[in-house]
Structure 1
Amino acid sequence: MINLHTQNQIAVSKETNQPNGYINQKLLPIFFFGFLVIILIIVFRDRFLTQHEVEVTKAILYPNDQEELSEGNLSLTKKGPLLFQASGWIEPDPFPIRVTSLYSGVVKEVHVLEGQKIKKGEVIATLIDEDARLVLSEIDAKLSQSMAEEGIIEADIKLAHAGLEAALAKVSKGVALVQENNDTVNRMSSLPKGAVSDQTFYQAKLALQRQKADLATYESEVLQQRALIIKLEETLLAQTKKSEIFSVQKEKAQLDLKRTRIVSPINGVILRLLAKPGSRMMLHMDDMNAAVAAILFEEGKLQARIDVPLNEVAKINLGQTVEVTSSILPDEIFGGRITRILGEADLQRNTLQVKVSLVDTHPRLRPEMLCRAKFFGISTDNEMGKSQYKTFINRDLLKMGSEASNFEKEFWVISKNGQTCEKRKISIGDTVKDQHINVIQGLLPGELIILNPPESLVSGDRVKITEIK
């Protein structure tokens, strides 16, 4: 009995001790996954917040003394704070120049090498020109033959004019003989009967008819000579046009012969050499490089092709100050300014490309070298910039009256992070340019103003830009 009671107590104690360990093992994964969910919510909380879709307009920069921005006055004299950095590549400014052969043929000799400096008019490559020379000789011979035939026709025209003069002389002589014989017949017919024998009178009338027939023949010869002259003149005109065709063909053959020497159109540097001895230069092919002998760029004219992240696009503007560095020249800083903002973003990279023209370049810089760009804002203490430039906003899009000026108004503005909004009081001036009015205080060039703020919008809300007007 004692042993049975002891065994029951041991069994009860095991049953009472088991749930604590079992519960702890069961709750541990729950606590772990709960902690992981909390971490994910904290890290990605912005993605779970509601985004308001809005349309915006950008504040722009105008010079005080001009109606529009020009490429020469886009940048201010002093840079502001650093906004962001982005990577890109060096490339020719504004474009690489393709030296295309305008004559299809086989390369005979190449006179330059890649990376070599070249002057305008200097020969890059020559093509085999024997065929072009033979064509020129053939056309030249045809032209000479055609011009000789022109001379023959001109001589025939002169001969025809001489024949016409002879025919006209015969006509004049025939007219005189007809008049003479006609007078004889008239006189004989007026004499008394028997004064002239019938045979003599009959012979006189036959002579008159014969002279009239001869006169008709002479007049026909005149018509024939005149028709011949017209025909020869038309033949001469056709032959002249044929000579003109041969003359044009000769000019083309001379041009083709000249084009067998491919020359540089600019002073520049050989970026890429495509022509090689024995290779073919073929026009009218699907391959865009089929007739390209070399690709050049102008020395000293370089730009940076920078991929700007889309969340930083709101901070860029034409003429913005940029500093570019490259690992090949780590101690050199190249100043530049934004000259172009491309019209289409890269969906895969999630970037928008801009072109930064470099003011001072280095001979060792080459296209397709990697670079790093720093984008700067506008300095708020730049007195020269303040005196020469003003910030403007679109008055019509913001639904301001045409008479409104010199007042303060609150606008919803996209924050510097480009993802949230904030309410800001902006002072409006009285300077109007086209549909824009200047801003005195509260807004910088490139900042975005919301055009259609929802009624439920509060400062700090996330927004999604659907259109920039």
Structure 2
Amino acid sequence: MTPSSLNSLSRHRNDDSAPPPQRSRAWLLPVGILLGFALLFLLLFRDRLLPATPVESAQVIAIPGETEITSPATNRDAAVIFQATGWVEPDPWSVKATALIDGVIDQVHVLEGQKVEKGELIATLITDDAKLMLSAAEHELSRLEAARDAHCAGILRTIEEMKGVQAQEKSAIAVQEAAKDRLDRLKRTGARAIAERDIVEARLDYEKVSALVRAAESKVSEISAGLNEKSYETLAMEQMIQAGQVAVDQAKLALSRTEIHAPISGRVLRLLASPGQKRMLGMDDPDSSTVAILYDPEKLQVRVDVPLADAALLQVGQAARIRCNLLPDHTFHGQVTRIVGEADIQRNTLQAKVVIEDPHDALRPEMLCRVEFLEASSGGPATSTRGLGLWIPQAALDGNRVWVIDPDSQRVSAREVTTGGTHDDRQEILTGLRPGERIVLNPKSLSANQRVQASNP
């Protein structure tokens, strides 16, 4: 064999002994992703993919009618018609102890949770500024009173001066009358017996004395006008003194308001002030001047969020039982006192207030409670009032049970009901259903948890 043939034979053997090339497995990643999405799709939408039994449905409706409701004192052992969660709060509200002037807290004399009596000192403000303002107002009042006294002394001096002028006036009038009498006698005697010069002198004396009388009268009028002016000035001073007295009273009131007292007898719910903290009355913050929040522990209620599905069974005066985890062995009795005027669109609830009869001292506001609302009891004196009756089509009855459709899963479940009267093709339901629930009409061969496709009749 030639060397070239040997080389070709050697290369052929090397090619046969080489391992086969590896295949790429990159296709497994997209396949795995697709399978994962398919599995997730089946888990989320399996109820919609599976076949559903078509059924006709109707809604439980609530119609106002005459119902017998007893007083809360007689139905404490009645059956529970629904429950809801609530929170303890003061009844009807808490009370704020407020600083009525601006200032800085000097001392706080109570602690949170402490019981206080009405009028008890809660906190004090720094009093230096208020004391200075009171002292300045008192000194200004004293100055005004002294000025009035000096003014009154001036009036007395003017009155004495007027008396002297009036005496001078009387003297001048007497001299005038004497001069007039002399002049008249000279005139009656005649010019032949009396010299003309004497008559002229008598006339001049009379005119001179008359001028003195007029001057005295003018002086009296001037002093009288001055006294009248001083009287009005006295009235103005009295008004200024009254204003000064008001300023003193305001300063005393401001000083007294540096002590914040409890407006009611109760317990301190929350302290909003500490020594050195400023309290401002004119700020936008509603608690800028609040020192403490108080409540009466003997007056508590529960703020309950009632689901709208159960709100139709709620009414003022309805009895309730209240349980709290703080006192698991204690059951409180209560009564619905009011229902608020607006529902909560986010929670889909309607809020009600349930007063707690004889609350325990351990209860505190914002404690979580469970409230059981009771139906009217058949025992005891009953009163007829307008209530809500639940009605369904008679075709929905399957013996003494009704098939209810869950709105989320569209599956049915059987529920035992208690029936009342009938009207046309409608059946009254006393217990077992709630307003707004959808039920199956003409149920046939249904099983629990069966998926259905509901349609209105």
TM over 0.5: yes
SS at match of 2:312: helix
Question: In the alignment, which residue of structure 1 is the partner of 2:16?
Answer: none
Find the counterpart in structure 2 of residue 391 from structure 1.
Answer: 385
Cα 1:357–1:284 shift into 2, 3 Å: same
Amino acid at match of 1:391: T
CA deviation after TM superposition for structure 1 residue 180, in Å? 1.5
Q: Take 1:237 and 1:204, find their aligned partners in 2: how far apart are those partners?
A: 50
1:382 aligns with 2:372: no
Task: Indicate the RMSD between aligned Cα atoms, in angstroms.
Answer: 3.7
- Give the CA deviation at 1:148: 1.7
2-structure distance, mates of 1:459, 1:182: 138
Question: Radius of gyration: which is bigger?
Answer: 2
Structure 1 Cα separation of the partners of residues 124 and 251 of structure 2: 16
294, 297, 306: which is aligned to 1:296? 294
Cα pair distance change 1:211/1:78, threshold 3 Å: same
3-state SS of paired residue (1:383): coil
Q: Deviations over 1:386-445 (max 9, x none)?
A: 2xx33248xxxxxxxxxxxxxxxxx9856799x9xx99569xxxxxxxxxxxxxxx999x
The one-character-per-residue Cα deviations of 1:42-94 (angstroms, maximum 9, x if unpaired) are: 79x89xx6879x9965768899xxxxxxxxxx734223321100001111111
Question: Which of 41, 48, 51 does residue 37 from structure 1 map onto?
Answer: 48
Match of 1:175 in 2: 173
Q: Which residue identity does 1:269 align to in structure 2?
A: R
Question: Are the structure 2 counterparts of residues 76 and 144 from structure 1 closer, same or farther at C-alpha, using a change threshold of 3 Å?
Answer: same
**Gapped regions of structure 1 (runs ≥ 5):** 1-28, 64-73, 394-410, 427-441, 450-457, 464-469
- TM, length-normalised to structure 2: 0.72
Provide the rounded CA distance (Å) in 2 between the counterparts of 1:60 and 1:266: 42
8 Å Cα contact 1:83-1:375 kept in structure 2: yes
Q: Tell me, what secondary structure is at the counterpart of 2:375?
A: strand
**2:74–2:380: 8 Å Cα contact kept in structure 1?**
no
- For 2:166 and 2:51, the matched residues in 1 are separated by 117
**1:101–1:35 CA distance, 2 compared to 1 (3 A):** closer
User: Which residue is 1:324 aligned to?
Assistant: 322
Say which SS state the counterpart of residue 346 (structure 1) adopts.
Answer: coil
| Bigger mean CA deviation after superposition, 119-128 or 343-352 | 119-128
Separation in structure 2 between the aligned mates of residue 38 and residue 113 of structure 1, nearest angstrom: 64
Q: Secondary structure at the match of 1:323?
A: strand
Q: Give a deviation string over 1:336-375, Cα, whole Å, max 9, x none.
A: 1111110011000000111111002112111111111000
State the alpha-carbon separation in 1 of the partners of residues 230 and 104 from structure 2: 46
Corresponding residue number in structure 2 for 1:78: 75
State percent identity of aligned pairs.
34
Amino acid at match of 1:78: N
Partner Cα separation in structure 1 for residue 128 and residue 226 of structure 2:
45
Report the number of matched residues. 371
C-alpha distance 459-94 of structure 1, shift in aligned 2 (>3 A)? farther
Please say if residues 115 and 271 of structure 1, whose CA atoms lie closer than 8 Å, have aligned partners that are also in contact.
yes
Cα offsets for 1:140-167 (capped at 9, x unmatched): 1111111222222222223333333333
Cα separation, 1, equivalents of 2:67 and 2:94: 31
For residues 121-136 of structure 1, the aligned pairs below 5 Å read: 121-136=119-134
State the partner residue of 1:353: 351
Unaligned runs of 5+ in 2: 1-38, 393-401, 407-418, 436-440, 444-453
Which amino acid in structure 2 is aligned with residue 130 of structure 1?
Answer: D
Amino acid at match of 1:218: A
CA distance in 1, matches of 2:135, 2:455: 78
What is the rounded CA distance, in whole Å, between the counterparts of 1:462 and 1:163 in structure 2? Answer: 114
Write the mapping of 1:66-105 to structure 2, written as runs, cut at 5 A.
75-79=72-76, 80-105=78-103
Q: 1:124-149 CA deviation, whole Å, 9 max, x = no partner?
A: 11110010001001101111111222
